[in-house]
Amino acid sequence: MEPSVSFFSGFAPKDLLFLGEAALRTMWISVLSISIGTVLGVIFGWILYEGKWAAALTVAPVLDVFRSVPLIIQLVLFYNFAPIVGLNLDPFASGVVILTIYTAALVANVARGGIEAVEPPMRRAARSLGMSYWQDLRYVVLPIGGRAVFPAWVGVALGVMKDSALVSVLGYVELLKASQILITRTQEPFLILTISGAFYFALSYPISRYAASLERKWAQ
Amino acid sequence: MIEIHDLHKYFGSLHVLKGINLNVEKGEVLSVIGASGSGKSTLLYCINGLEPVQQGNVMVDGTDVHAKGTDINKLRQQLGMVFQQWNSFPHLTALENVALAPKIVKGKSKAEAREIAAQQLKHVGLGEKLDVYPSALSGGQQQRLAIARALAMEPEYMLFDEATSALDPELVGEVLETMRMLAEEGMTMICVTHEMGFARDVSDRVAFFHQGVMEEIGPPEQIFGNPQSEHTQKFLANVR
Ligand SMILES: Nc1ncnc2c1ncn2[C@@H]1O[C@H](COP(=O)(O)OP(=O)(O)OP(=O)(O)O)[C@@H](O)[C@H]1O
Ligand SMILES: [Mg+2]
């Protein structure tokens, strides 16, 4: 065993593993928030569309707050104030909650736009075939409107994945936090930020490629 | 049989249908003509319950379309409708467009639904286009697709709302031909149309609408040869 412990040490291969694990955590927190947030966002979008003025007075302002207050403020506020109401959440859970609501608030508007993209005559045609309101939503509005706003949704998803870096302020060791830790120890910011950036790219590139290929498939 | 009794329809304060009384027998082909805004489309929407009514009623085979307890989704299966805009589902192939409703509304198996769809598409002359997406079809073909889609529910009645008005002139013929074929097969049809030739040759009766009132109804010979109402005369003088 090497007894000497130095505070500073150079970048070692095992640090790559450390960053890799952190990248997985970034992916995990993003996947959770984006998927739950998307489901909620679609429901909110539907409420915005169907609720007319009632929704405009209730749901819409709440969603506006979450869309416009900077995420970092939401995270810090929630993490520090949740215990007061008896919610003792660790940084990860707090991050998921806030990122989910944030995603839902963004997706709600995308989803409403998707529903609006399906013109009333199309929906009347579906109903005239005997489809119920829900069958029309599921089999006509969802696929047609969904495709129309898919690029916007991909933009939201990639944005949330990058914004998940902000959960580092709560101490959750995702990719950005891990990079900061390594930079402090190795004093090699350029190297580490480059690697970290490459990880972010590696997470989002397959998604945007897959999205592009889907869009191409739908276009024909 | 479709029985319309003292039907009134308002959009807000706009009185669009002003007491329509009309019976359409099984096997009959009725054409509805009239100026823009006279309430022809609205009449069709009231018949299949796409629009609520404020007074009077519509009975389809004895069922009140607008009654509280009526299962409107079930009733609409009896009432195929074709619109001016063909509204093909763009994300589905021709075959899938037609097979969708039989599958999800009638609960047919996938194979059965596709069988019905293929049969109906052949029926309207699109047997070669089963796996084509609507974007690759002409307007006339898409309108025939819409007809096949409605027929796949095996309706007793077909409602056509200016099925040819949005088409390029050279595509009108193929759709009218399909409608004529249905009429010859004995389908009960209500056709809102601006095609006076079709109304004259194919229909058993022609109804003329004017500002929400059914001004005149009778066999084509009467409406086109010897119209009784002054408004009918004026209207026909203008379209000729
Ligand atoms: N959803 C609606 N809301 C308000 N007014 C409407 C609505 N739909 C139709 N109207 C009005 O009702 C009247 C009748 O319309 P309708 O579409 O039935 O006429 P139409 O005879 O089919 O005319 P066209 O030949 O132009 O299709 C028109 O004055 C129209 O502006
Ligand atoms: Mg009309």
What pLDDT tens digit does each residue of chain A (220 aa) get? 455 555 678 888 889 999 999 999 999 999 999 999 999 999 999 999 998 788 888 889 999 999 999 999 999 999 999 889 888 889 999 999 999 999 999 999 999 999 999 999 999 999 999 999 999 999 999 999 999 999 999 999 999 999 999 999 998 999 999 999 999 999 999 999 999 999 999 999 999 999 999 999 888 7
B70 CB near a chain A CB, below 8 Å?
A: no
* Residue closest to A164 by CA, chosen among A98, A219, A120: A98
**Chain A: nearest CA to B237, how far in angstroms?**
32
Rounded-to-integer distance, Cα A118 and Cα A145, Å:
6
Sequence letter at residue A166: L
| pLDDT of res. A143 | 96
pLDDT value for A58: 87
- DSSP class of A120: H
Expressed in angstroms and rounded, the spacing between residue A115 Cα and the centre of ligand 1 is 24
- Which ligand ends up closest to the CA of B45? 1
Eight-state DSSP code of residue A21 = H
Q: Which amino acid is at B37?
A: G
Q: Whose CA is nearest to atom 22 of ligand 1?
A: B41
pLDDT of residue B240: 66
**Residue B43 Cα, ligand 1 centroid: separation in angstroms?**
10
Taking each helix axis from N to C end, the angle separating A189-219 and A142-163, rounded to the nearest 10 degrees, works out to 180
B95-107 burial by CB neighbour count: b if 16+ within 10 A, else e?
bbbbbbbbbbbbe
**CA geometry: angle at B85 spanning B84 and B86, to 5°?**
105
B158 neighbors B187 (Cβ within 8 angstroms) = yes
Report chain A residues whose CB lies below 8 A from the CB of B91.
Answer: 143-144, 147, 218
The atom number, within ligand 1, closest to the CA of B51 reads 1
Percent of chain B with pLDDT over 70: 100
Ligand in nearest proximity to the CA of B18: 1
Mean pLDDT of B49-72: 96
Task: Tell me the β-bridge partners of B4.
Answer: B22, B58
Instruction: Report CA-CA distances (Å) from A210 to A7, A150, A203, A215, A217.
Output: 43, 12, 12, 9, 11
Q: Are B123 and B94 in contact (CB under 8 A)?
A: no
Q: Is the pLDDT of residue B129 over 90?
A: yes
Query: Quick one: pLDDT at residue A1?
Result: 47
Distance CA B15, CA B104 (A): 37
